[in-house]
A and B are shown apart, each in its own frame.
Chain A
Amino acid sequence: MTAPEYLLEAIDIVKVFGTLRANDGVTLRVAPGEIHAFLGENGAGKSTLVKMIYGSLHPTSGTIKWMGKEVVIPNPNAARKLGIGMVFQHFSLFDALTVAENISLAMPGKFDLAALSKKVAQVSVEYGLPLNPTATVADLSVGERQRIEIVRCLLQEPKLLILDEPTAVLTPQEADQLFVTLRRLASEGCSVLYISHRLEEVKRLCHSATILRHGKVVASCDPRKETAASLARLMVGGDVHAIRAAKAPVGNAVRFSLKDVNLDADGPFSVELKNINLDVRGGEVIAIAGVAGNGQSELFDAISGERPLLRGDAILIDGATCGAIGVTERRRMGAAFVPEERLGHGAVPAFALTENVVLTRHSDDASLATRGLLNRGKAGEIADRVIKTYDVRKGKADPEARSLSGGNLQKFVMGRELDRKPKVLVVNQPTWGVDAGAAATIRQALIDLARSGSAVVVISQDLDEIFELADKIAVISRGQLSQAHPAHEMTAEKIGLLMAGAHEKEASRATHS
């Protein structure tokens, strides 16, 4: 018997959730020893298919073949027994345990921590994944945590390793290191299924690609022979509008400043903010880059006033102090904020859009709540205006926030704040999980707001977005913010070094000398 041509074949897979056909006849074939890219926008159905291969979901119809034989994968345990390992986007690690303890939880058989530690050390050296088995997970960076997940899979000697958007949480340098490991694995015959929507890295890394759109396969190709633009067209199903940006005006007054902002950690796993300084002039967009979990949400909370600071003069809006007052007062001073999490933070999931208008607008628009009485008609007017201006697509007249798609809700949440024409706008991850079309609309709106004279701060993990938007770029790492450099002087490599903490050393050298 000859070896089967494909390691894994998923043939004509259909998965239906309620009325949604998340996968509609998807076929995916992965050959032994290849790095196969699985491309698609958010919501295209990538994760759904992968979860069926890993056994945590079950197909409505279709067949899965493993090494040429039809198999049923009832649960992840069965998948692991076949030789399928998976590294999720969200890690399943216990922060309070050590690396070795975390790995031992997933290992079948006898519990022998000493032997396991030795094995972990061995595998991590072999594959260039430096890890200290006795380190506590809480102290590790996101990149190191990902290594634990990968090592955990490798210990089970998989034939297929699935990675779900692994580089979303890595610095460019860490990503390069990961690629070396993956190429090494592939050369030893282990197949890799690589889920991503980052086209450049797919072009660099992968041997073949399957592209998914709206639950259907639209193309299979060799990414090395395509251009990023041609891949994007396949993924999005049309050209993505380029953003038009006039040059930022020079010499405008500073509208928003952070002066030595310090904030203690909120709990054992939150990040402490240390001496953060930033000046944003009217007319410019400053982007704050950084790997997830380096103090972005803490910084957002401090800026928005959800966690007021002790010193009022730590934050200035148009020269007026506002560090010690709450979010409502800061909005009254002309600031607006859009948090990272749309559902449950930026909007109440179970509330209609009209009510969600009141959520942030009650503070500055007195006509929305005159003497404590709500004016629903007025709120409805604002909602309609936002929906029209920012092309929010919805099913019915005044839907609940949770019934909107991620992109449309984000357009609404952004539009709600832009509609006020704020003097200062601070946005955390403006296009996280948003489709390319909506992302372009949002980015254009941010630039337009800045050019009209406002100060705009964008906190983002997406380097492409940052280069598209920003006039200046600062980088946050472990709660410290680098200087803001003009965007044209920055490269992905420079940002990567800052993400890894280069400016922390600068700062400490400055204090020692």
Chain B
Amino acid sequence: MQLILEKRGDRSEFFALASPFLALFLTLIVGGLIFASRGISPLEGLYVYFVEPLTQIWSLEQLVVKATPLILIGVGLAVCYMANVWNIGAEGQLTIGAIVGSMAPVLFPTWQDPSVLVVMLIMGTVGGALYGLIPGLLKTRFNANEILTSLMLVYVAQFILDWLVRGPWRDPKGFNFPVTQTFEGWQLLPTFGGTIHLGALFAVLACVALAFLMAKTLKGFEIKVTGNAPRAGRFAGFSRDRMVLFCFLLSGGLAGLAGICEVASVVGKLQPQISPGYGFAAIIVAFLGRLNPVGVLFAGLLLALSYIGGEAAQVSLGISDKIAKVVQGILLFFILSCDTLILYRIKIQFKGVGTLKAVG
């Protein structure tokens, strides 16, 4: 017996749009089964996970706070993937962005005016962009696979952070905990009243700006051509190498911005763990959002719900918070399978039987 993926003649426009919803629906079914396997009523489980967080103001605010880094990173990755550049290391660029951006408050703890915040944001973005440039240069210089190099650099970044907070940057008054001193005043992002901070505005602006870039500019055209038909891109005079570097700078910069926004708001300091894997979850956000900057906005909110739902499930149902990762994984699995099955159909070929079938 053989399983064969056979290309479909026409791509269904309807299913191309419906695919993320179909994937979400299938995720809900499997999620329900998982709850059932833990002895929890599937309906109750799904309610606690996906609906309850949407019924209270504070959890809605949390939703936006968690969606902020996911959208910032996801929209950059969407542009990357559109150009066929595979940056998998946004988590590392986020980490380096957080570190570089934190130089100002850590090294000059008494610097307290609006300029420190501006410097932090700029340095965070630049730090993430330059860290993203490393796999970009390795790709253009040595043709090293950017999927591997960008992913491996995530672990390098995390160890650098670990060393800093346990070593040179450790708060002398912190009872030997591996943390820097807590940021305060102008070292923190202003909020819109509650917990939602300025980063949310950056995320929306990034989506609008990149939607404009993709739809209206020659650069956006270049990105689509390069990703779609590289040979035609070269014929059009677009440089593949420059595109790789541009994509890594852009997505790395946005991941760095997300990183510094996280430590200058929710976390409030540097510590060994500053992100629950936003850089990886943003890959799902980019695909769930159809690699479309506006789609990413909604996909980011949905993925944020999976984090909050995971916490809620831990609290009210007493199951492991790893459930969030499981749900995210299932979701990505179904998105990619749905997308594949829109373009291909599965053909099962049995030895011998296949010839009979071919006759009819």
- Which residues of A approach B to under 8 Å, CB–CB? 17-18, 58, 72, 74-75, 304-306, 326-329, 331, 337, 339, 341, 344-351, 355, 358-360, 362-363, 369, 372-374
Contact = CB atoms under 8 A, between A and B. Distances in A.
B237 A58 contact: no
Given A74-B358, A306-B235, A374 B228 contact: no
Contact of A348 (B216, B220, B229, B358): B229
B221 interface: yes
Contacts of B218: 358, 362, 369, 372-374
Given A329-B237, A344-B232, A374-B220, 7 more contacts: A74-B358, A327-B236, A359-B225, A362-B221, A362-B236, A373-B217, A374-B221
A326 B235 contact: no
A360 B229 contact: no
A308 B228 CA distance: 23
Interface string B189-229: 00000000000000000000000000011111100110011
Contacts of A358: 218, 221
B250 to A, nearest CB: 15
B231 interface: yes
A345 B231 contact: yes
B325 to A, nearest CB: 34
Interface string B38-75: 00000000000000000000000000000000000000
A345 B216 contact: no
B237 A348 contact: no
Contact of B232 (A304, A326, A331, A348): A348
B183 to A, nearest CB: 38
Interface of B: 9-10, 216-221, 224-225, 228-229, 231-232, 234-237, 354-355, 358-359
A337 to B, nearest CB: 8
Nearest to A329: B237
**Looking at B219, B220, B231, B354, which has the most chain A CB atoms within 10 Å of its CB?**
B231
A360 B221 CA distance: 12
Given A362-B218, A372-B218, A373-B217, A74 B359 contact: yes
Contacts of A351: 224-225, 228
Given A58-B359, A74-B359, A363-B237, A372 B232 contact: no
B interface, over-half SS = helix
28 contacts: A18-B9, A75-B355, A305-B237, A306-B234, A306-B235, A327-B236, A328-B236, A339-B235, A341-B231, A344-B232, A345-B235, A346-B235, A347-B232, A348-B228, A348-B232, A350-B228, A350-B229, A351-B225, A355-B221, A358-B218, A358-B221, A360-B235, A360-B236, A362-B218, A362-B221, A372-B217, A372-B218, A374-B218
A355 B225 CA distance: 10
A344 B227 CA distance: 11
A331 B236 CA distance: 10
Nearest to A349: B229
Given A58-B359, A74-B358, A328-B237, A373 B216 contact: yes
A362 B355 CA distance: 52
A349 B11 CA distance: 14
Contacts of A305: 237
Contacts of A17: 9
Contacts of A304: 235
B236 A374 contact: no
Contacts of B359: 58, 72, 74
A374 B232 contact: no
A328 B216 CA distance: 20
A345 B221 contact: no
A302 to B, nearest CB: 13
Contacts of A359: 225, 232, 235-236
Contacts of A327: 234-237
B10 A346 contact: no
A52 B17 CA distance: 37
B212 to A, nearest CB: 9
A366 B218 CA distance: 11
Contacts of A331: 237
A58 B357 CA distance: 10
A372 B229 CA distance: 21
A326 B238 CA distance: 9
Given A74-B358, A363-B237, A372 B219 contact: yes
Contacts of B232: 344-348, 359
Contacts of B219: 372
B211 to A, nearest CB: 14
Contacts of A341: 231
A351 B220 CA distance: 13
A266 B19 CA distance: 41
Contacts of A362: 218, 221, 236
Nearest to B225: A348
A73 to B, nearest CB: 9
A372 to B, nearest CB: 5
Nearest to B213: A372
B221 to A, nearest CB: 6
